[in-house]
Amino acid sequence: MTITGKRLAEIREREGKATPGEMEVLGDGRQVYLRSCGMIADCGTQWADDGDDEGGERDWNRGIVNAQFYAHARADVPDLLDLVEEMRDVLKRAHRCATMKDDRTCDGCEVGNMLRRTEEPK
């Protein structure tokens, strides 16, 4: 999957509009509490499709796993967005350095220096 610049901007915008603050898992582990706005989300239980024609069975642990995911997403998403932007910048600099037609350095660019070190004969 490729995340375009537009998609990344949409994710960053949603993240920026979301209520800031830590989330924590409460009670039996299926509820997420956002302290800054007093909101509680109950992840409940979900039906797990076990592949038979009878439907599925209740997966009591899935609500706990989902609550953990939601509670950590508020901190994880901004960190991941920052990492994606950092990696994109590194790739742009690496491409620029790798496509230079002469032996110029990239103004002290650590990426260009790294590329040159890997190209040296051993």
Count of domains forming the chain: 1
- CB burial class (10 A; 0-12, 13-18, 19+) of residue 67? buried
Q: Which domain holds residue 28?
A: 5-119
Span 39-66, pLDDT tens digits? 777 777 665 555 555 555 666 677 788 7
Of 113 and 84, more confident: 84
Give residue 13's pLDDT. Answer: 93
The fraction of the chain above a pLDDT of 90, given in percent, is 15
Q: What proportions of the chain, in percent to the nearest 5, are helix, strand and coil?
A: 50, 15, 35
In this prediction, residues 24-35 reach a mean pLDDT of 82
